[in-house]
Structure 1
């Protein structure tokens, strides 16, 4: 037979076990109700929000970096594009026509070489410079009112000027002549290309030996040929083609 104390102990153990099971059951029931009621969502939502916030922060940082970089690169690209367009436009622009050159608009430039470093005076008594012809082929014709061959060939230089003036500049210089006589000769022969007066020794500097003298000058100011004697239109054109590649 079981002793009275053993029976009491067994009864207490069954009571404790029942209470424990009851507590576990209540805990399980409460947890189930809590989860079914959405009690776990805030934590999950917070975690998702944190992840979204982190991802959003990274995206914002990337966007900020892009915004701080892209405008400069965009501006740079725009500048490069504009510079390329400007350069292409400048490269595509043709040089000014030789018959548009006005030597009066230029000053003597000693830094240039050859003919381009010299100057003269127009028949209007205005200072002019050969510097204006830099980059353009040039034919200089020395004439005088008292020189019959000079007066004879001047209309042919006018014809050449009318047909090739955009490619080759023509300049007439009166040498050893009076200003008023040179002006009258130019008007009488119908000359429209620029004309001037050799007040110094340009005739000698250009290598002249007799009247008339015609000098062919390169776009760089180098004297290519000095011819003393009358020239016809064919002669002028042939020499221009030879020296300037027309």
Structure 2
């Protein structure tokens, strides 16, 4: 009885082994067919595809524009709203002109090629007034009408100095007397000393003399005699279009 039972177990075990080997064979066959059909090694296949894309001008997945030297960003990537045009610098105010910061330029015509000395004895040049309307007032400490009109030139300069420059030049006067007169009359616009013949060059005939000069250095009017604030303003409007 025991021998017959053992024989049956050996027969069943042999059948199970045969079935197992059959299943393993079917699995191996299916895997082989799958690999031959191109389904195997997906990671390698994808890598090959990416390399082919890079070689044909595609995107390089390993490159980082932010970390790659000499990399540039397309202008189209910059939002239009962030592009701001630089504003042009405004022209300097006539009241900010310091003639002592300029040198004589003989290539300039007429008035702008001339020079003078400031009351603090610094060399100065009319070249600094290129492009700016200019009123030149010749005065002297001994000239009563000159001393009378100087505060009106100061008032005009305080109102219109940004667009019209004013320059006072002491003619035929001592430096210390001219300095004292300027201080006494409260003048703050630039002043200087006529050490040569500027008075004659500007066409002066008597004291005081006031000259209206265009932005390009042309003498527009030479007036000998006292001027009031209204006179100065009306002439500036006529010559400079205030």
Q: Structure 1 residues 185 and 46, CA, compared in 2 at 3 Å: closer, same or farther?
A: same
Q: What is the aligned counterpart of 1:179 among 175, 200, 211?
A: 175
Question: Partner of 2:52 in structure 1?
Answer: 57
SS in 2 for 1:220: coil
Query: Are the aligned partners of 2:118 and 2:193 in contact in 1 as well (CA < 8 Å)?
Result: yes
Distance 2:48 2:31 in 1: 26
Question: Partner of 1:71 in structure 2?
Answer: 72
Number of residues of Structure 1 aligned to a counterpart in Structure 2: 208
Question: Partner of 1:191 in structure 2?
Answer: 187
Please show how residues 1-246 of structure 1 align to structure 2 within 5 Å. Answer: 36-42=30-36, 44-45=38-39, 53-59=48-54, 61-63=57-59, 71=72, 73-74=74-75, 85=85, 88-89=86-87, 91=88, 93-246=89-242
* Per-residue Cα deviation, 1:156-193 (whole angstroms, up to 9, x for no partner): 10111111112211100011222122122212222111
Query: Are the aligned partners of 1:121 and 1:199 in contact in 2 as well (CA < 8 Å)?
Result: yes
Distance 1:114 1:36 in 2: 105
Query: Are the aligned partners of 1:34 and 1:40 in contact in 2 as well (CA < 8 Å)?
Result: no
TM-score, normalised on structure 2? 0.72
Q: Structure 1 residues 191 and 46, CA, compared in 2 at 3 Å: closer, same or farther?
A: same
Q: Which has the higher helix share?
A: 1
Instruction: Return 5+ residue gaps in structure 2 as ranges.
Output: 1-25
Instruction: Return 5+ residue gaps in structure 1 as ranges.
Output: 1-31
- Over the aligned positions, Cα root-mean-square deviation in angstroms equals 3.2
Question: Partner of 1:12 in structure 2?
Answer: none
